[in-house]
Amino acid sequence: MNFADSYRQSITDPQTYWANEAKLIDWHAPFSTVLDDSNPPFTKWFVGGKTNLCHNAVDRWVATQGDQPALIAVSSETEDGQLHEKIYTFAELQAEIERTAAIMLSLGVAKGDRVLIYMPMIAEAIFAMLACARIGAIHSVVFGGFASNSLATRIDDAKPALIVSADAGSRNGKAIAYKPLLDEAIKLARHKPAHVLLVDRRLVPMTMIAGRDADYAALRRQYIDAQVPITWLDSNDTSYILYTSGTTGKPKGVQRDVGGYAVALASSMKHIFCGKPGETYFATSDIGWVVGHSYIVYGPLIAGMATVMYEGLPIRPDAGVWWSIVEKYKVTRMFSAPTAVRVLKKQPPEYMKKHDTSSLKALYLAGEPLDETTSQWIASALGVPIIDNYWQTETGWPILSIAKGIEDKPTRLGSPGVPMAGYKVKILNESTGAVCGANEKGVVVLEGPLPPGCMQTIYGDDDRFVKTYWSNFSNEQVYSTFDWGIRDADGYYFILGRTDDVINVAGHRLGTREIEESISSHPNVSEVAVVGIEDKMKGQVAVAFVIPKNADAAATPESRRALEAEVMAIVDKQLGAVARPSRVHFVTLLPKTRSGKLLRRSIQAICEGRDPGDLTTIEDPMSLEQIRAALAG
């Protein structure tokens, strides 16, 4: 079947299409209904079916390829910067997961309980995720780069019975203590987890809290021979929650099911990523982000592939580190982000040439717009196709791409491609809701029902799910991606950035409102506006404009520098360095409408040297002059 026919069937007859795809995974009990969309926008896939993500990712493969690599954990965060590698076969991975699952059960974790995972990129993090999946606990991984306040908000929302963490992460050979941040977060949070399970890497000393904190190594020894059977789950049970940023300061808990997610990943691994059992997959993301969930952990393993988990920078010990991994483990499919490629592009080319990357068949890039120069550079350096793919935490797998596993349809520079199976993509005019013509800019929306694998709801808040995503157009109920886009005459889509206050820094999705709230907690900050501005390397960076309470505090260049450093430090402490603005400017006025709404798009336009747009509602035009002056100064 060619791609057009296959896609058409997924839209006109989703029952048949997805029932076929569902054969790619193991079911403990068959489903009775493929799709239940009787209560839109809530969608249930494979109703009545029973399955398990851990079974499909690991146990299923033990019988046929138990002695083959499943998890290849590589770290360059070592004292000498040289690579440290540990390989777990499918059988070994299963044993580790059973140990971790037994520990969790011994700590009272039951089906449906939440387990928050705040971990660096070490194998134990994957054991913990899969152990949750095995016993039906709901994991919520929080990115290790986040700090106390970010963690506390998530603890209060997810109310975990257990938190799994470690003494420290490491960046460029320098230990970054996690435990004090975690202790502080638990202190800040209203909800107190009964237990904290800690992996001691012996990077920094840890103070254990008696009665609450448990040592992973000691418990692992105790449960070394544990056997923990799979808990068969309903297809629509919840597998995990992953928090992501939006327009408000409160992160949204994207909630995912079990059966639909497993099928979507198996299907995308076959048709988009073309993965085969026995091959090796390498995604350079982090388990704290959705790419890590779908394409470091679940996707490759469900496809029977070995997956590489890499802790470290792309340039340590040198800029050839990723290619040395490709060479050594004969990686066939690799997934990364444009920012990482731009970092490598600045390095001398010999690092790439030093390694034999001939096993590699394609490089997949996602998370931010892929510019043509970056795409062409890496394509010619590697000599493989570069496959852009566009999606979101909310969807869990690509909305737009090129399904090379079905048909070798050409890619188009600057475009992530065409809609993947089950996604009914439309571009709507922001104000009228009318469908845009070819090459006309509008909001990218998806018509319901969304395909398997997409979010079920916002954890604990169905109303917010409907209001946030499905209520942006009065004429029809569609899912808004909050991205601008266009569709060309041939049906290829182009993504033109966010319509809301979300920014994308080096592929990391951040909410400007969260950063503003953090900055506002500084005692000398009266008002603040944070916008994302274009950056050649990182795609975007955050820039803050602050009105100080006491103007004297920003009267001289020295005092401004000192206050800027304080503001940055408060963001580091509360949210994590990943959210730190690249610059903090001081003004006495911020551009607002007469009704008091911040004119963020105008601020952003001025920062990027563009026309600030319609200013008929502005309260005081002098405020824009202040932004210009602050940038010039």
Interacting residue ranges for ligand PRX, rule: CB under 6 A: 244, 289-291, 366-370, 388-393, 416, 481, 483, 495, 498, 504, 509
Cβ at position 417, least distance to ligand PRX in Å: 9
| Contact (Cβ atoms closer than 8 angstroms) between residue 239 and residue 256 | yes
* Rounded Cα distance, 154 and 139, in Å: 12
- For residue 30, whether the previous peptide bond is cis, meaning omega lies within 30 degrees of 0, is no
Cβ at position 468, least distance to ligand PRX in Å: 13
The residue written with tokens 């039906």 in the block is 136
Cβ at position 41, least distance to ligand PRX in Å: 18
Cβ at position 523, least distance to ligand PRX in Å: 33
Burial (CB count <10 Å: 0-12, 13-18, 19+), residue 33: middle
Cα distances (Å, whole numbers) of residue 488 to 398, 404, 484, 498: 19, 20, 14, 19
Nearer to ligand PRX, 416 or 449 (CB): 416
Nearer to ligand PRX, 427 or 568 (CB): 427
* Rounded Cα distance, 409 and 392, in Å: 23
Give strand pairing partners of 45.
35
Nearer to ligand PRX, 76 or 481 (CB): 481
Nearer to ligand PRX, 60 or 513 (CB): 513
Cβ at position 39, least distance to ligand PRX in Å: 25
Nearer to ligand PRX, 146 or 391 (CB): 391
Cβ at position 398, least distance to ligand PRX in Å: 8
* Rounded Cα distance, 170 and 203, in Å: 8
- Nearest one of 392, 382, 370 to 445, comparing CA atoms: 392
Cβ at position 82, least distance to ligand PRX in Å: 31
CA angle 519, 172, 326 (to 5 degrees): 120
The DSSP letter of residue 112 is T
Pairing status of strand 252-256 against strand 42-47: unpaired
* Rounded Cα distance, 274 and 263, in Å: 15
Nearer to ligand PRX, 271 or 585 (CB): 271
Cβ at position 278, least distance to ligand PRX in Å: 26
Cβ at position 482, least distance to ligand PRX in Å: 6
Nearer to ligand PRX, 100 or 504 (CB): 504
Nearer to ligand PRX, 193 or 442 (CB): 442
Pairing status of strand 33-39 against strand 42-47: antiparallel
Question: DSSP per residue over 286-326, as a string?
Answer: -TTSHHHIIIIIIHHHHTT-EEEEEES-TTSS-TTHHHHHH
The DSSP letter of residue 24 is G
Nearer to ligand PRX, 270 or 498 (CB): 498
CA angle 514, 142, 60 (to 5 degrees): 145
Q: Which residues have CB under 8 Å from 35's CB, separation 6+?
A: 14, 15, 18, 43, 44, 45, 449
CB atoms within 10 A of CB 192: 11
Cβ at position 289, least distance to ligand PRX in Å: 6
Nearer to ligand PRX, 329 or 423 (CB): 423
Q: Quick check: helix, strand or coil at residue 262?
A: helix
Nearer to ligand PRX, 275 or 532 (CB): 532
- For residue 449, whether the previous peptide bond is cis, meaning omega lies within 30 degrees of 0, is yes
Burial (CB count <10 Å: 0-12, 13-18, 19+), residue 35: buried
Nearer to ligand PRX, 195 or 508 (CB): 508
Q: Quick check: helix, strand or coil at residue 48?
A: coil
Burial (CB count <10 Å: 0-12, 13-18, 19+), residue 526: middle
Nearer to ligand PRX, 401 or 602 (CB): 401
Nearer to ligand PRX, 275 or 292 (CB): 292
Q: Give all strands (DSSP E) within 312-455, no chain letters.
A: 331-336, 362-366, 386-389, 400-401, 418-419, 424-428, 442-447
Nearer to ligand PRX, 235 or 512 (CB): 512
Cβ at position 244, least distance to ligand PRX in Å: 5
Instruction: Give start and end residues of each alpha helix (H) in 89-169.
Output: 90-106, 123-135, 148-158
- 617 φ/ψ angles, rounded to the nearest 5 degrees: -100, 5
What distance, in Å, lies between the first and last C-alpha atoms of the chain? Answer: 61
Cβ at position 366, least distance to ligand PRX in Å: 4
Nearer to ligand PRX, 532 or 591 (CB): 532
The residue written with tokens 């800040």 in the block is 188
* Rounded Cα distance, 42 and 37, in Å: 7
Cβ at position 390, least distance to ligand PRX in Å: 4
Cβ at position 444, least distance to ligand PRX in Å: 8
Cβ at position 50, least distance to ligand PRX in Å: 29
Give strand pairing partners of 138.
114
Cβ at position 201, least distance to ligand PRX in Å: 27
